Amino acid sequence: MTLHLYDTYTRSLREFKPLEGKKVGMYACGPTVYDYAHIGNLRTYIFEDILRRVLELNDYTVRHIVNITDVGHLVSDADTGEDKMETGSRRTGKSAWEIAEFYTNAFQQDMHRLNISEPTIWCRATDHIPEQIEFIRCIEAKGYTYQTSDGIYFDTTRLPDYGYMARLDADNLQAGARIDMGEKRSPTDFALWKFSPKDQKRQMEWESPWGTGFPGWHIECSAMSARYLGHYFDIHCGGEDHINVHHTNEIAQTEACYGTRLANFWMHGYFLQLDEAKMAKSGGSFIRLENLIEKGYDPLAYRFFCLSAIYRTKLSFTWDSLDGAAKSLDRLRATCFEWGQPGEPDPGFVEKFLTFINDDLNMPRALALAWDLVKSSLPAGEKKGTLLFFDRVFGLNLGDWVPLKEETPAAIQELLEKRQLARQEKRWADADALRGEISARGYEVEDTAQGPKVKAKRGQ
């Protein structure tokens, strides 16, 4: 069975084949750790996790690298404004190093709660300053840089196909440039190294051949992907916002230095929106995974919600749709539990499943197939074996779920026994009063063939 993935670089669905044997090198741009991740960011990491699981189900061994941007990502993509880490530091009153550590941990905890597989390597930008300096030296040696009073810049006009992936039209950009370019020669030029402001000591700064300062945002990904995957590897991914600037600039850097387009496949997850607007960290109001948990949602209900849409479409978040996802997940878990011991997966269903997931990760169709499986007439064990096979990609931990055992509190049990006695002694008024007391404490009595039972009332 062949795997087809959509490649933004060629704007086409292409058959995926690893560059080397059964091994796949995959680099995913990681979070900028100046604040918590919002559920929009997490949608992108869920998409990348599904991609990795699909590759693994196709018997590939994936070397998955995720970076942590803890320096150099400026407030504006036009290389102006402050470093986001420094603003985060002012907002929280902690040092830039402390917040990097804090929000990295918070992000990794979210990944864990969403059952996102641990990357093979996490790499921090600040741990790879020498590699970034080396990379800039290589670009400089090839003649693609110039210096201004605030840094070393990449001269995008020197690269004939600059912006090809984003289909940027350099002439139009030039003509329509309204942004303040400072000393930049062209609007698409970008910083490789920024000098520390003369009048101010930055918390994060390093010596370099050009002067004390810090790396631009894009260079970390070219340098760290080269270190861990080489300068041409299988798949590079990120969110759709990376197409125009960040990934375009990563490609420019690597092309300048090594002459490759950096990755064979470029894949992008589309945005989660809230009320038709994109959810953004800088937007002020954003929803975190923690907010869902506080409202009583299982984090995996959010994962299920993300699976309901194709990664290449925008997805609108509403509490109602999350609610629907939570209920469907509950139903799937309970059904899976009731099926008992798993048997062998059904080859027919498995084949269909592989067709859907290998068609550019079509998770909505894969989920619909799971419901077809539920409704099918297969024996329970085979159904369970098949669903657990699907769950290697869904990642919903369907096999681990067991119903919550509700313990009846001793006081309620005592009231129940008193009511039993009253009924045996035909003291009907007392029995009714005891039922009333049990009810007032949030439990209801059900008289079954095996005797009376109590259960907690829902929706109190």
Cβ(299)–Cβ(395) under 8 Å? no
What is the three-class DSSP state of 453? strand
Applying CB under 6 A, among 8, 18, 43, 191 the residue interacting with ligand AMP is 43
Q: Quick check: 113 binds ligand AMP (CB under 6 A)?
A: no
Interface with ligand AMP by CB under 6 A: which range of 37-45, 146-154, 259-267, 451-459?
A: 37-45
Cβ(123)–Cβ(68) under 8 Å? yes
Which entry of ligand AMP, Zn ion, none binds 31, CB below 5 to 8 A by partner kind?
Answer: ligand AMP
The distance of closest approach from Cβ of residue 242 to Zn ion in the complex, given in angstroms and rounded to an integer, is 7
Interface with ligand AMP by CB under 6 A: which range of 25-33, 165-173, 222-230, 400-408?
A: 25-33
How far apart, in whole angstroms, are the C-alpha atoms of residue 345 and residue 88? 50
What is the three-class DSSP state of 243? coil
Contacts of 90 (CB under 8 A, 6+ apart): none
Shortest-Cβ-distance residue relative to ligand AMP? 239
Interface with Zn ion by CB under 5 A: which range of 214-222, 266-274, 324-332, 438-446?
A: 214-222
How far apart, in whole angstroms, are the C-alpha atoms of residue 38 and residue 291? 10
Which entry of Zn ion, ligand AMP, none binds 359, CB below 5 to 8 A by partner kind?
Answer: none
Q: Based on CB atoms, which residue is closest to Zn ion, 113 or 236?
A: 236
The distance of closest approach from Cβ of residue 224 to ligand AMP in the complex, given in angstroms and rounded to an integer, is 14
Interface with ligand AMP by CB under 6 A: which range of 87-95, 116-124, 269-277, 358-366?
A: 269-277
Helix (H) / strand (E) element for 29: namely none
Which entry of ligand AMP, Zn ion, none binds 281, CB below 5 to 8 A by partner kind?
Answer: ligand AMP
Applying CB under 6 A, among 4, 137, 158, 281 the residue interacting with ligand AMP is 281
Q: Based on CB atoms, which residue is closest to Zn ion, 29 or 387?
A: 29
Cβ(67)–Cβ(45) under 8 Å? no
Residues in 223-242 at the binding interface with ligand AMP, rule: CB under 6 A: 238-239, 241-242
How far apart, in whole angstroms, are the C-alpha atoms of residue 365 and residue 357? 8
**CB-neighbour burial class of residue 317 (10 A; exposed 0-12, middle 13-18, buried 19+):** buried
Q: Quick check: 216 binds ligand AMP (CB under 6 A)?
A: no
Phi then psi for residue 278, to 5 deg, are -70, 145
Q: Quick check: 221 binds Zn ion (CB under 5 A)?
A: yes
Alpha helices in 163-245 (DSSP H): 170-176, 217-229
Q: Quick check: 29 binds Zn ion (CB under 5 A)?
A: yes
Q: Based on CB atoms, which residue is closest to ligand AMP, 28 or 370?
A: 28
What residues does 446 pair with on adjacent strands? 453
How far apart, in whole angstroms, are the C-alpha atoms of residue 108 and residue 62? 19
Locate 258 and state its tokens.
């090594």
Applying CB under 6 A, among 32, 156, 208, 264 the residue interacting with ligand AMP is 32
Q: Quick check: 345 binds ligand AMP (CB under 6 A)?
A: no
CB-CB neighbours of 57 under 10 Å: 17
Radius of gyration, CA atoms only, the chain: 28
Which entry of Zn ion, ligand AMP, none binds 44, CB below 5 to 8 A by partner kind?
Answer: ligand AMP
The distance of closest approach from Cβ of residue 316 to ligand AMP in the complex, given in angstroms and rounded to an integer, is 11
Q: In what order do the strands lie in the sheet with 272-274?
A: 277-278, 272-274, 315-317
How far apart, in whole angstroms, are the C-alpha atoms of residue 212 and residue 194? 8
Q: Based on CB atoms, which residue is closest to ligand AMP, 281 or 288?
A: 281
Locate 174 and state its tokens.
């030039």
Which entry of Zn ion, ligand AMP, none binds 221, CB below 5 to 8 A by partner kind?
Answer: Zn ion
Interface with ligand AMP by CB under 6 A: which range of 26-34, 86-94, 181-189, 330-338?
A: 26-34
Applying CB under 6 A, among 24, 279, 309, 412 the residue interacting with ligand AMP is 279
Long-range contacts from 89-93, C-beta under 8 angstroms, 24+ separation: 89/34, 89/203
Footprint on this chain of Zn ion (rule: CB under 5 A): 29, 221
Binding site for ligand AMP (CB under 6 A): 29, 31-32, 40-41, 43-44, 69, 238-239, 241-242, 269, 271-272, 278-281
